[in-house]
Copies of this chain bind each other. A is one copy, B any other.
Amino acid sequence: MRSDPRELAEGFSLVLRDLVLLLRQVTAEQPVSAQQLGILGSLEAGPRRVTELAREHGVRAPTMTAHVSRLEEAEAVSRGVDTDDARVVTVGLTSRGRDLLAAGRAARTAFLAERLEALGESERAALAAALPVLSRICAGG
């Protein structure tokens, strides 16, 4: 049985470690970290509140506050207020933020696409088939 859950979990666990190393390579030499890029991505469709961003990225509020502060420092986002609730801080992309997002995404995609081009067609098909499964694994809980 090749897909025994326990056995598969062990193999998956090893791959997970390698993926972390891969992610470090993807991120290295880029002006925007993976976390920051993710946050910028969340703002693409419009401003969001800090709490919302924190939940979406699986971190606590103070962590997101720090991220937003750094991004604000880099002039990639700007803080605003909510007219309905004065406690709320909204975070929106600046034009510089938009540029950084586009550049970061392009670099990341290019890096990965290069790796994927080195694979065979059937390997890419196997990966494509696994992506939704991986999503489900991550979501499930």
Contact = CB atoms under 8 A, between A and B. Distances in A.
Provide the main secondary structure of the chain A interface.
helix
A117 interface: yes
Given A119-B133, A128-B2, A12 B140 contact: no
A2 B21 CA distance: 27
A32 B56 CA distance: 25
A119 to B, nearest CB: 7
A21 B58 contact: yes
Contact of A18 (B17, B110, B123, B135): B135
Contacts of A129: 126, 129-130
Interface residues of A, number: 56
A113 interface: yes
Contacts of A128: 2-3, 8, 11
Contact of A12 (B10, B116, B133): B116
Contact of A141 (B17, B108, B115, B133): B115
Contact of A115 (B18, B113, B127, B137): B137
Listed from nearest, the 7 A-B pairs whose CB atoms lie closest are A130-B130, A3-B124, A18-B138, A9-B112, A9-B113, A5-B116, A21-B58
10 contacts: A3-B121, A5-B113, A6-B113, A8-B116, A8-B124, A8-B127, A15-B134, A18-B139, A21-B57, A129-B129
